Amino acid sequence: MPSTREKAHETALRKAHQALQKLEPYKTAYTAGCNFHPEEGGGRLPVPFFGEDYVVTFPKISVQSASGKEPDITTRLIILHYLIHADGAPLADHWIAFRELPNGLVYDPAFQRRASLRLVREYGMDPKGFAAAAEALGGERLTFGDVSYMFRIFPRMRMAVILHVGDEEFGPRVNVLFDASAGHYLPTEDLAVLGGMLAGRLIKAGNV
């Protein structure tokens, strides 16, 4: 029997399908920084996500990986919500903390547990390990803290992770940041999920 969480995800997925079907696919692709490819009876909209290629089909909505497999429901929801919420706003080119997002203070404790604190436990005293994991995920080096990287999540969404290594006086810290335009592309609840996804992928990359 499906759990309450599974039911909630299925309901959210149905709503996302319905919302996307009401949108004009060419405009949707443009505002998301993607390209729509028309085909007989519909079309395909490729969406890069975490450096991997996914395809959203129209008018019957589906999400598939480049290999044709259906990704997990969280990935499908995030990709569909990105297309639905994207408004074409340019990157702001400055970073903000999660708590600075709309209603971010409400979700910030959960976000810290889901993202920053997991990375502190894994890499707080291991900057070389963090750098190796970040580069394995395609991260681009920044100049903040002791080690920092920028990640291209979607065509018009960027995240950064900054590691401050601990010493005898202060413990280690990790800041997970967003380009200030992030709220134009996903609701804050989904950005919290993205923080957890990025942390999980960095931890997995360090344990390969």
Hey, where are the domains in the chain?
4-85, 95-206
Can you give the pLDDT at residue 208?
67
Can you give the pLDDT at residue 207?
83
Position 135, amino acid = E
Residues 65 and 53 sit within 8 Å (Cβ to Cβ): yes
d(CA 108, CA 100): 9
Backbone dihedral angles phi then psi of residue 178, each to the nearest 5 degrees: -125, 145
Q: Rounded to whole angstroms, what are the CA distances from 204 to 54, 67, 123, 151?
A: 21, 21, 12, 16
Side by side, the strands of the sheet bearing 95-97 are 95-97, 173-179, 157-164, 147-154, 140-141
Can you give the pLDDT at residue 167?
75
Backbone dihedral angles phi then psi of residue 14, each to the nearest 5 degrees: -60, -45
Four-way CATH pick for 95-206: 3.30.310, 3.30.70, 3.40.50, 3.30.1360: 3.30.310
Per-residue pLDDT of the chain (208 residues; tens, 9 = 90+): 456 777 888 999 999 999 999 999 999 999 999 999 999 889 999 999 999 999 999 999 999 998 889 999 999 999 999 999 999 999 999 999 999 999 999 999 999 999 999 999 999 999 999 999 999 999 999 999 999 999 999 999 999 999 999 777 788 999 999 999 999 999 999 999 999 999 999 999 988 6
Q: Extract the tokens encoding 63.
A: 């999400």
Nearest to 194 by CA among 89, 90, 91, 101: 101
Q: What residue has token string 């599974």?
A: 6
